[in-house]
């Protein structure tokens, strides 16, 4: 197990995966800073909730393509290098799949951890009056991490399955589109079926906009436990199906 784990890291050496994720992180930081700088001091009082609404929306646009890129990059050694046949005679085929997921999970964990850091940095810069509730951080991490991981799982399966990487990347783009528009549609069965819509589905902050005064008021809404449970079901089912597809794949 340890040997396979080390091998995976050797495969991505010099591939600058972390650098690209850093670029996305920097962009998120800039985007949030830009969005916050457009608000008045009064509006900034509730800055944390503002960020808790902005970050998932930014994720909806960026993450599907970023995760498609990450999955494609992690699977490059096997797909582009055409080394699956060789690797699967040296190590357990299922374990290779697990290692890819584990690596993605590690990158994602660091990414989400850095995003929580962005939250604190913005708080320190702008001195939001309304304090940060610890439970909000928990909801935020669950929302961003699990949805992103589910998308990553889908992308890994696609990247392994299609030698031509157009399709996985195109599905990543499609996911960004679908996810983005899901923010504007009412809750319904469609939103529960589309994995990219879960960023909006699990959002725990909402807002009211008064047309006359143009004032936005943010408020907490209950964390959608049903959607969360459904996401876990999708994750487990996705893992079982994805792994069995990979195991059956002819190499």
Q: Judged by CB under 8 A, which of 5, 145, 181, 223 binds other proteins?
A: 181
**What dihedral angle (degrees, nearest 10) is formed by the CA atoms of 7, 11, 14, 19?**
-90
164 binds other proteins per the rule CB under 8 A: yes
Residues in region 25-84 near other proteins by CB under 8 A: 27, 30-31, 34, 61-62, 65-66, 68-69, 72-73, 76, 80
Q: Helix, strand, or coil here: 220?
A: strand
Specify the residue, 165 or 201, whose C-beta has the smaller distance to other proteins.
165
Q: Does 146 bind other proteins (CB under 8 A)?
A: no
Q: Is 239 exposed, middle or buried (0-12, 13-18, 19+ CB in 10 A)?
A: middle
Q: Which is nearer to other proteins, 110 or 141 (CB)?
A: 110
Nearer to other proteins, 58 or 101 (CB): 58
Would you count residue 11 as binding other proteins (CB under 8 A)?
Answer: no
CB of 61 to other proteins, least distance (A): 6
The C-alpha atoms of residue 231 and residue 187 are separated, in whole angstroms, by 15
Q: Which is nearer to other proteins, 50 or 75 (CB)?
A: 75
- Please state the closest distance from residue 176 (CB atom) to other proteins, in A: 7
Q: Is residue 46 a contact partner of residue 218, using CB atoms and an 8 Å limit?
A: yes
Could you tell me the two tokens for 19? 């650098």
165 belongs to the binding site for other proteins (CB under 8 A): yes
* Cβ burial, residue 99 (10 Å; 0-12/13-18/19+): buried
How buried is 88 (Cβ within 10 angstroms: 0-12 exposed, 13-18 middle, 19+ buried)? Answer: middle
Shortest Cβ 102–other proteins spacing (Å): 20
CB 150, CB 234: distance < 8 Å: yes
Based on the shown chain and the rule CB under 8 A, indicate whether residue 184 belongs to the binding site for other proteins.
Answer: yes
Cα 234-101-77 angle, rounded to 5 deg = 135
Binding site for other proteins (CB under 8 A): 15, 20, 23-24, 27, 30-31, 34, 61-62, 65-66, 68-69, 72-73, 76, 80, 164-167, 169-170, 173-174, 176-178, 180-181, 184-185
């Amino acid at each position: 197990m340890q040997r396979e784990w080390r091998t995976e890291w050797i495969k991505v050496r010099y591939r600058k995966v972390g650098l690209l994720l850093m670029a996305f992180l920097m962009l998120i930081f800039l985007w949030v800073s830009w969005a916050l700088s457009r608000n008045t001091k009064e509006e900034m009082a509730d800055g944390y909730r503002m960020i808790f609404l902005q970050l998932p929306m930014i994720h909806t646009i960026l993450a599907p393509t970023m995760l498609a890129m990450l999955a494609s990059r992690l699977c490059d050694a096997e797909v582009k290098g055409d080394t699956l046949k060789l690797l699967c005679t040296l190590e357990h085929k299922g374990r290779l799949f697990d290692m890819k997921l584990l690596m993605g999970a590690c990158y994602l964990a660091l990414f989400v951890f850095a995003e929580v850091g962005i939250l604190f940095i913005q708080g320190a810069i702008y001195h939001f009056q309304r304090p940060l509730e610890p439970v909000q951080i928990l909801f935020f991490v669950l929302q961003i991490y699990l949805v992103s991981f589910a998308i990553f799982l889908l992308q890994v399966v696609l990247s392994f399955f299609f030698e031509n990487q157009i399709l996985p990347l195109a599905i990543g783009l499609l996911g960004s589109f679908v996810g983005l528009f899901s923010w504007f549609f009412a809750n319904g069965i469609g939103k529960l079926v589309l994995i990219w819509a879960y960023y909006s589905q699990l959002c725990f902050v909402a807002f009211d906009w008064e047309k006359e005064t143009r004032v936005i008021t943010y408020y907490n809404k209950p964390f959608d436990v049903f959607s969360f449970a459904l996401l876990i079901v999708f994750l487990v089912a996705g893992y079982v199906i994805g792994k069995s597809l990979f195991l059956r794949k002819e190499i």
